[in-house]
Amino acid sequence: MNTRLDEIASRIYRVSVYIPEADFMFNQFLVDGDEPLLFTRGRDDCSRSFRRRSTRCGRSRNCAG
């Protein structure tokens, strides 16, 4: 599973999770604010993967890895 984080507007991010085995991509959207919002549709394990990564990198914009 490969995860990519792109800022698509000021403080709005698209989180793309690519599942190579299925050749399918899930997109989630993160709105960074006083009360951040993660809008997600699709597989719950993709959301858990992103939450682990976002917790690990905190509010840093460098979330690779």
**40 with 17: CB under 8 angstroms?**
no
Q: Where are the domains of the chain?
A: 2-57
Its sign, for the CA torsion 64, 22, 37, 7, is: positive
Question: Model-level pTM greater than 0.85?
Answer: no
Provide the CB-side half-sphere exposure for 21 (13 A, CA): 1
Its sign, for the CA torsion 27, 43, 30, 18, is: negative
Q: Which position has the token pair 């914009």? A: 61
Residues 3-57 pLDDT 10s: 899 999 999 999 888 889 999 888 889 999 899 888 887 655 555 655 555 554 4
Q: Which position has the token pair 């905190």? A: 58
